Amino acid sequence: MSTSPSVISASRQSVLQRTLGVLGGGQLGRMMADAAHRLGVRIVVLDPTPNSPAGQAADKQIVGDFKNAECIAELAAECDVLTVEIEHVNVDALEASAAKCSIQPSPATIRIIQNKFVQKQHLHARGIALGEFAEVVAGGRQGVMDAAARFGYPLMLKAKCLAYDGRGNAVVKSEQDIDAAIASLSGAAAGGLYAEKWVPFTRELAVMVARGLDGKVVSYPAVETFQRNSICHTVVAPAQISGEILARAAAVAEAAIATFDGAGIFGVELFLLADGTVLLNEIAPRPHNSGHYTIEACHTSQFEQHIRAVMGLPLGSPAMRVGASVMVNVLGSGSSDQDFDNTWALCSSSLSLPSSTSIHWYGKEGVRNGRKVGHVTITGPFMPDVQAALRALGPSFADSPV
Ligand code: ATP
Ligand code: MG
Ligand code: MG
């Protein structure tokens, strides 16, 4: 049976070739672009670095700052939907485009989450379990001493804004550390500081939660994350914990996301305490490093799920299609050509493994020390096999804490 041309073009307009604009051009946007193309969605990214990781994979990159109102307006002018792959964007400018585009998740959600202190106030007021925290009102030494009088040492001093990969955090072990901690955060201090009571967690968990435009919510299995120097290093999926704790982690994450507006995927970082209590650490309003394993290990990857959610398509199954998975980040070791070669060698060593191992190279220009430049995901039917494959990858992976 033939379909009339008018029916084809109407359905094309409603489903295919709609354009998604993404603020930010890093690896999250790059992996979003791969998923978008499979769904017939055109993708344009906004990032100041020409030929950014996402720009290489997108239909188009606008070279410009995602904090600049004119650049955001230029992106909005050619998009049906706007989303973010980084929360540190100009929310006022995003809001100004609301009449032109659907913005997902909502600018109000991004505004709350981008300030970690405001995010904590928001969640605390809505009954989500958190560690104790307090604003460092004086901004300086006295403010930290006041927090220490309440929480004791060690405590975690955090920048409210522009934080990622632990940049923006400083551990204060005693009164002697206060000045150095404040100085180390001076770059991020303009947005203000706050203090958190030290959380004596036994494990760190994370749950990805997605909400569609129709309000439907799905969550991925809780994973265990391992940080090195506050940077996510290894993710084990599913977390090797009881079903009861897995369910508790999912419940906390879903309750937290229910307090925010808008469609999309959210990464929820959690602390598990020795007595089984689950506390929320922080939320990302976008795909998250702890969800990279979903590309190979789940029916619907976190990137595809995000595209489905923000474009108003039905959500897919978040269930794992393998028994076990481990993801390890590949971090840059320095800026020289030799460092670049060493980092690539590390990543590509997994190509010779017989097990089910995938590499993701982000195409970043430089591989400066500590920068996330790629990741490796291993999948298998059982966790011991996946762990054995990880150990076979060589020393840098073998000392992963799993
Ligand atoms: P991300 O890259 O995940 O956005 P971030 O820079 O926002 O990280 P946080 O998630 O606040 O930083 O903290 C980084 C790590 O520091 C946590 O994963 C955890 O290991 C540790 N940490 C953070 N807050 C506390 C706390 N209150 N007590 C103990 N450890 C903490
Ligand atoms: Mg963070
Ligand atoms: Mg974090």
- Secondary structure, 3-state, 178-204: HHHHHHHCCCCHHHCEEEEECCCCCEE
Higher pLDDT, 296 or 334: 296
Measured from the CA of 168, which atom of ligand 1 is nearest? 6
How many Å lie between the centroid of ligand 2 and the Cα of residue 372? 15
Nearest ligand to the C-alpha of residue 147? 1
Whole-angstrom Cα distance, residue 145 to residue 59? 52
> Do you know the residue count of the chain?
402
Per-residue pLDDT tens digits for 145-179: 999 999 999 999 999 999 888 889 999 999 999 99
- Specify the residue with its C-alpha closest to ligand 1, atom 16: 230
How many Å lie between the centroid of ligand 1 and the Cα of residue 345? 29
Confidence (pLDDT) at 353: 74
Confidence (pLDDT) at 322: 98
Measured from the CA of 164, which atom of ligand 1 is nearest? 6
Is 131 a pocket residue for ligand 1 (Cβ < 6 Å)? yes
DSSP strand E in 48-192: where?
Answer: 60-63, 81-84, 102-103, 133-135, 155-159, 169-172
- pLDDT at position 212 over 60: yes
Whole-angstrom Cα distance, residue 364 to residue 373? 6
- Specify the residue with its C-alpha closest to ligand 1, atom 7: 164
Confidence (pLDDT) at 351: 80
- pLDDT at position 300 over 80: yes
Q: Using 50, 70 and 90 to split pLDDT, how confident is the model at 211?
A: very high
How many Å lie between the centroid of ligand 2 and the Cα of residue 168? 9
Strand-pair partners of 45: 22, 61
Average pLDDT over residues 98-122: 97
Per-residue pLDDT tens digits for 218-234: 999 999 999 988 899 99
Mean pLDDT lowest among 7-21, 55-69, 256-270, 343-357: 7-21
Is 156 a pocket residue for ligand 1 (Cβ < 6 Å)? yes
Per-residue b or e along 95-107, where b marks 16 or more CB atoms closer than 10 Å to that residue's CB: bebeeebbbbbbb
Average pLDDT over residues 296-315: 98
Confidence (pLDDT) at 4: 43
Residue 95: strand, helix, or coil: helix
Confidence (pLDDT) at 3: 40
Whole-angstrom Cα distance, residue 97 to residue 94? 5
- pLDDT at position 1 over 50: no
- Specify the residue with its C-alpha closest to ligand 1, atom 2: 165
Q: Are 158 and 175 in contact (CB under 8 A)?
A: no
Is 15 a pocket residue for ligand 1 (Cβ < 6 Å)? no
CA-closest candidate to residue 197, choices 156, 241, 255, 229: 156
Whole-angstrom Cα distance, residue 219 to residue 206? 11
Average pLDDT over residues 60-67: 98
Is 198 a pocket residue for ligand 1 (Cβ < 6 Å)? yes
Whole-angstrom Cα distance, residue 173 to residue 293? 35
- pLDDT at position 6 over 50: no
Q: How far is CA 215 from the centre of its chain?
A: 21
Is 168 a pocket residue for ligand 1 (Cβ < 6 Å)? yes
Q: Are 49 and 24 in contact (CB under 8 A)?
A: no
Strand-pair partners of 265: 210
- pLDDT at position 389 over 60: yes
ipTM exceeding 0.95, yes/no: yes
Residue 300: strand, helix, or coil: coil
* Average pLDDT of every residue of the chain: 92
Q: Give the chain's radius of gyration (CA, Å).
A: 21
Confidence (pLDDT) at 2: 41
Is 281 a pocket residue for ligand 1 (Cβ < 6 Å)? yes
The structure's pTM equals: 0.94
Whole-angstrom Cα distance, residue 144 to residue 17? 52
How many Å lie between the centroid of ligand 3 and the Cα of residue 102? 28
Confidence (pLDDT) at 14: 53
- pLDDT at position 105 over 80: yes
Is 344 a pocket residue for ligand 1 (Cβ < 6 Å)? no
How many Å lie between the centroid of ligand 2 and the Cα of residue 338? 31
How many Å lie between the centroid of ligand 1 and the Cα of residue 230? 6
- Specify the residue with its C-alpha closest to ligand 1, atom 17: 230
Per-residue b or e along 141-164, where b marks 16 or more CB atoms closer than 10 Å to that residue's CB: eebbebbbeebeeebbbbbbbbbe
How many Å lie between the centroid of ligand 2 and the Cα of residue 193? 14
Confidence (pLDDT) at 140: 80
Is 165 a pocket residue for ligand 1 (Cβ < 6 Å)? yes
How many Å lie between the centroid of ligand 2 and the Cα of residue 85? 13
Q: Are 241 and 224 in contact (CB under 8 A)?
A: yes
Share of the chain above pLDDT 70, in %: 93
DSSP state, residue 324:
E
Q: Are 151 and 195 in contact (CB under 8 A)?
A: yes
CA-closest candidate to residue 52, choices 40, 39, 65, 41: 65
CA geometry: angle 386, 388, 391, nearest 5 deg: 110
How many Å lie between the centroid of ligand 1 and the Cα of residue 166? 6
Strand-pair partners of 102: 81
Is 204 a pocket residue for ligand 1 (Cβ < 6 Å)? yes
